[in-house]
């Protein structure tokens, strides 16, 4: 019988999710690489297998009930439990297009589209709720599972209201604020059942989300995510952290 632990990372085919998957695989987890596109998912699975890691591509569009249900079936058929869930998939529609020549964000809330806002919430807010709920039986099948919500500094109301320098992204920022609240809500229910649920702020990282403009590397970004995904028993739950510690809500 295998004692290998299983981890699922959503949006694992690139960026911070891919690096998080790589790090968890390097720690000995079998990693399920959630990706909504077969070609991108399989390509990244092959690449990581080439690096010697035990990974599987898992078709998973976080906005689709059917896709998430099928993904649960696939994992449940092959794994007795899920020790780690990283809700990483996220989008920021229109963000890159709204950056001016000096890299400043130039789209005020009065010009954000409600359609973009709905699309953002579908992935960044309803996605993690849908995925966490669907995988709950597998998370509860092990004594101390860990759920990490990949949030952002932009989710901090304390920061947004006190720091006029930070970009004013209404849809994206508020989606991460909602995700922070959802983190606390799940933690209140699930912590007594052994599951630690925490939110991570990876920092402004060079990925496709921002057209490569972030000043941090994916290795730096994955640090806090991996730490929260592998917390010892008695570690924090219902919190919001970067690699230096707790953040103001
Ligand atoms: N980069 C930063 O500066 C930064 C800062 C703070 C927080 N974050 C957060 O970090 C997380 C990862 O972002 P990233 O910077 O690595 O961005 P990225 O390189 O654009 O990667 C985003 C990932 O999410 C996936 N995704 C998008 N919609 C999806 C859906 N409906 N179902 C499943 N997967 C979906 C993408 O898949 P496709 O390739 O198919 O599009 C991709 O794998 C996000 O939650 C983001 O908000 C990023």
Which of 44, 57, 89 to mutate for ligand 1's pocket (most ligand atoms within 8 Å of CB)? 89
pLDDT in tens, the chain (249 residues): 457 999 999 999 999 999 999 999 999 999 999 999 999 999 999 999 999 999 999 999 999 999 999 999 999 999 999 999 999 999 999 999 999 988 889 999 999 999 999 999 999 999 999 999 999 999 999 999 999 999 999 999 999 999 778 899 999 999 999 999 999 999 999 999 999 999 999 999 999 999 999 999 999 999 999 999 999 989 999 999 999 999 999
Quote the ligand 1 centre to 19 CA distance (angstroms): 12
Residue 202 Cβ inside 6 Å of ligand 1? The answer reads yes
160-167 long-range contacts, CB within 8 A, separation 24+: 167/104, 167/105
Quote the ligand 1 centre to 11 CA distance (angstroms): 6
Cα atoms found within 13 Å of the Cα of residue 146, Cβ hemisphere only: 26
pLDDT at 164: 76
- Look at residues 226, 218, 138, 129 and name the one whose alpha carbon lies nearest to residue 180: 129
Q: Which domains does the chain have, with CATH numbers?
A: 6-246 (3.40.50.720)
Is position 105 annotated as part of the catalytic site? Answer: no
Quote the ligand 1 centre to 96 CA distance (angstroms): 13
Residue 210 Cβ inside 6 Å of ligand 1? The answer reads yes
Residue 232, CA distances (Å) to 34, 48, 219, 229, 236 in order:
25, 26, 21, 9, 9
pLDDT at 2: 57
Residue 247 Cβ inside 6 Å of ligand 1? The answer reads no
| β-bridge pairing 30-35 and 55-59 | parallel
């Amino acid at each position: 019988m295998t004692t290998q632990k299983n981890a699922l990372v959503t949006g694992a085919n690139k960026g911070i999710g891919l690096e998080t998957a790589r790090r968890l695989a390097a720690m000995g987890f079998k990693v399920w690489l959630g990706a909504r596109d077969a070609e991108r998912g399989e390509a990244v699975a092959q690449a990581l297998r080439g690096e010697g890691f035990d990974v599987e591509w898992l078709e998973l569009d976080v906005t689709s009930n059917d896709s998430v249900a099928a993904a649960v079936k696939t994992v449940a058929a092959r794994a007795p439990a899920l020790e780690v869930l990283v809700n990483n998939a996220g989008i920021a529609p229109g963000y890159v297009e709204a950056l001016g020549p000096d890299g400043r964000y130039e789209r005020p809330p009065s010009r954000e589209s409600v359609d973009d806002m709905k699309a953002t919430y579908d992935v960044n807010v309803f996605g993690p709720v849908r995925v966490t709920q669907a995988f709950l039986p597998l998370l509860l099948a092990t004594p101390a599972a860990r759920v990490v919500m990949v949030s952002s500094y932009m989710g901090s109301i304390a920061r947004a209201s006190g720091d006029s320098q930070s970009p004013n992204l209404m849809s994206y920022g508020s989606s991460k604020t909602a995700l922070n609240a959802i983190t606390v809500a799940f933690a209140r229910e699930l912590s007594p059942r052994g599951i630690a649920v925490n939110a991570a702020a990876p920092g402004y990282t060079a990925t496709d989300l921002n057209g490569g403009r972030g000043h941090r590397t994916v290795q730096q970004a994955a640090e806090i995510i991996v730490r929260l995904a592998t917390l010892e028993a008695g570690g924090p739950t219902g919190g919001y952290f970067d690699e230096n510690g707790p953040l103001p809500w």
